[in-house]
Amino acid sequence: MSVLSKKASTPIAVAAVFIAIVGATYLVRGRVYYPHIVVDAQQQVRFEFLQQGLLKDEDCQATVATVAQAIRVSCPTCRIALQECSVGPVPDYEALLSEMPIAMPSSRLPRGVVTYLSDDGALALAACREAERLSSSNPKSSTVCYPPNAQRTMLGSTASRIDAHQALLGFLILLFTGAVSAFISYLIVRYERMHARWSHDPAGTGPQKFHATPTPRIGGLGVMASLFVCGAVLLATEQSAPGEQFGYLLLASLPAFLGGITEDVTKAVSVAARLMLTMAAAAIGVMLLGAVIPRLDVPGFDALLRLSPFAIAFTAFAVGGVANSINIIDGYNGLAAGHAVIVLAAMAWLSALLGDQFLLISALAMIGALLGFLALNYPKGRIFLGDGGAYLLGFWLGELSVLIVMRHPEVSPWFPMLLLVYPIFETIFSMFRRKFIHRQSTGQPDRRHLHQLIYAQLARTHPGVSDRAALTRMNSRVAPFGWLMTLGCAVPALLFWQETQWLVTVSLLYCLVYAVLYLRLSLSGSHAV
């Protein structure tokens, strides 16, 4: 009776914790500062400039001063009637900055909007169109005029290219984190006898155990330590916004990592608890970095994302889901880490193209940390990521996915979706398969994931393999299949990073190919779907 009561109360407790996380995040999210300028021009027309909210008042004040000075230079006869940083969040401002139709003529800027106000509606629209005509000669500052009640499209942010110094810094960060991660991973392996009692992952103790010998499962310590050392060096040497933001990202990742590493050591942290801690990490990302999913380019759903509580809840759920999906595919040597390296490389490339040094540094630092870990994990499997490493990695990928879309309106939200479609669809498909085909609990572990079917196929083609070295080699042969699937998604994602319709098409095509491959493998072996 007590067991049934516990099973019944667990979902309620999880839901209550999730609501508490979302509510607390919404209440303490902090102020948003909107650069807001009102200009009186000739012919009884008023221009109102509004830019996307910033997390710091000093950044907002600097932006206001820059825009105001540019207006004085370009329009000497104009009078600045209002110059301030409006404190939000303000729903009306968010509506103006969105793609929603509004009841006045407007011009979309890369990170803001200009509205045209006049007692004469035709005069306001004429001023809007004249601004579009005058700006067309300069592509970097061109605007698009939208009549009243017209659907508007967000423009891309003006990107400054990554210069040679920033590129060199990114390369050094990659090398540095790689060296630190490899060194700490080596120490863990070298002195494993000292911690084997609590750090080892026994062989053959569960349906998802495919390694031949007990192995340390605390590789996440080396990954996290290398990121922290990198963050400390950045804060000590750069003293710049990207370094500070990297520190915030590290701080936000702590709950996800600590929940996972505690499970690695104690084997007593439930999946629900780890998921809640990862969602709490996403909530901290909302507070420190403003990392909220702004849109999905899905009609109707985007309207819900304009409601702050819903957007925060969906962001926490999505980041937690990505972290859990990375943990699911972390079943063979190099599979999850190699997948993440490819995804992060694609994010780094696009971040460099967009001129976003913070995202570039964050992607390259994790790539370096993973390469250092892979030096001892692949192909011999001398150390595992464990839940600490998997949840840290999943949070990092999920958070960067949110940030790249939030910080750059020109990036389709389906760009990171396509990059991560392999683990995401693996998770969704597994839940469906367990619930509706095998009539099992969705959280019940089994040997029917795609990577496990690939391993089974390899085992059938190499019968009689029993020695440890041969089993380890066969384990490591699974990862390249996963890497190939990830690469097959990363290439079109980079080609069509602005084109939602193409990204959605390729995502659906991947899901179809996955389902066909899964069916063929399951029918050719002993696993029946």
Confidence of residue 346 (pLDDT cuts 50, 70, 90): very high
How many CB atoms within 10 Å of residue 47?
23
Average pLDDT in the 75-102 region? 84
Question: How far is C-alpha 456 from the chain's CA centre?
Answer: 32
Q: Which long-range contacts (CB under 8 A, 24 or more apart) does 313-317 make?
A: 313/18, 313/22, 315/282, 315/286, 315/291, 315/402, 316/18, 316/21, 316/22, 316/25, 316/279, 316/280, 316/282, 316/283, 316/286, 317/18, 317/279
| pLDDT over 80 at 396, yes or no | yes
Q: Inter-axis angle of helices 241-266 and 271-289, to 10 degrees?
A: 170
pLDDT at 527: 43
pLDDT at 7: 58
Q: Rounded to whole angstroms, how far apart are CA atoms 197 and 259? A: 19
Q: Rounded to whole angstroms, how far apart are CA atoms 226 and 241? A: 20
**92-116 burial, b for 16+ CB within 10 Å, e for fewer?**
ebbebbbbeebebbbbbbbbbbbbb
Q: Name the 3-class secondary structure at 46.
A: strand
Average pLDDT in the 405-414 region? 91
pLDDT at 81: 92
Q: Name the 3-class secondary structure at 507.
A: helix
CB 290 within 8 A of CB 282: no
Closest CA to 340 of 385, 281, 393: 393
Higher pLDDT, 421 or 73: 421
- Hunting for tokens 């019968």 — which residue is that? 463
Confidence of residue 443 (pLDDT cuts 50, 70, 90): low
Q: Rounded to whole angstroms, how far apart are CA atoms 429 and 336? A: 18
Q: What percent of the chain has pLDDT over 70?
A: 91
Confidence of residue 522 (pLDDT cuts 50, 70, 90): confident
CB 105 within 8 A of CB 125: yes
Q: Rounded to whole angstroms, how far apart are CA atoms 372 and 174? A: 10
Q: What percent of the chain has pLDDT over 90?
A: 54
* Range scoring the smallest mean pLDDT among 251-265, 409-423, 441-455, 459-473: 459-473
Alpha-carbon radius of gyration of the chain: 25
| pLDDT over 70 at 203, yes or no | no
CB 237 within 8 A of CB 176: no
pLDDT at 253: 97
Average pLDDT in the 440-457 region? 82
Average pLDDT in the 439-456 region? 81
pLDDT by residue (tens digit) across 186-196?
A: 999 999 999 98
Q: Rounded to whole angstroms, how far apart are CA atoms 153 and 323? A: 32
List % helix, strand, coil for the chain (3-state, nearest 5). 65, 10, 25
Average pLDDT in the 290-315 region? 90
pLDDT at 155: 64
Residues 6 or more apart whose CB falls under 8 angstroms from that of 98 comprise 306
Q: Rounded to whole angstroms, how far apart are CA atoms 371 and 227? A: 13
pLDDT at 36: 94
Sheet holding 79-88, edge to edge: 79-88, 32-40, 46-51, 112-117, 106-109, 144-146
pLDDT by residue (tens digit) across 283-298?
A: 999 999 989 998 999 8
* Range scoring the smallest mean pLDDT among 19-23, 383-387, 501-505: 19-23
Confidence of residue 140 (pLDDT cuts 50, 70, 90): low
pLDDT by residue (tens digit) across 208-260?
A: 555 557 889 999 999 999 999 999 999 888 777 888 999 999 999 999 999 99
| pLDDT over 70 at 417, yes or no | yes
Closest CA to 58 of 37, 31, 80: 31
pLDDT at 96: 86
* Range scoring the smallest mean pLDDT among 458-467, 477-486, 506-515: 458-467
pTM: 0.88
Average pLDDT in the 24-36 region? 83
| pLDDT over 90 at 162, yes or no | no
| pLDDT over 60 at 38, yes or no | yes
pLDDT at 2: 55
DSSP structural state of residue 139: G
Mean residue pLDDT of the chain comes to: 88
Q: Rounded to whole angstroms, how far apart are CA atoms 123 and 225? A: 61
CB 397 within 8 A of CB 390: no
| pLDDT over 70 at 303, yes or no | yes
pLDDT at 249: 97
| pLDDT over 90 at 164, yes or no | no
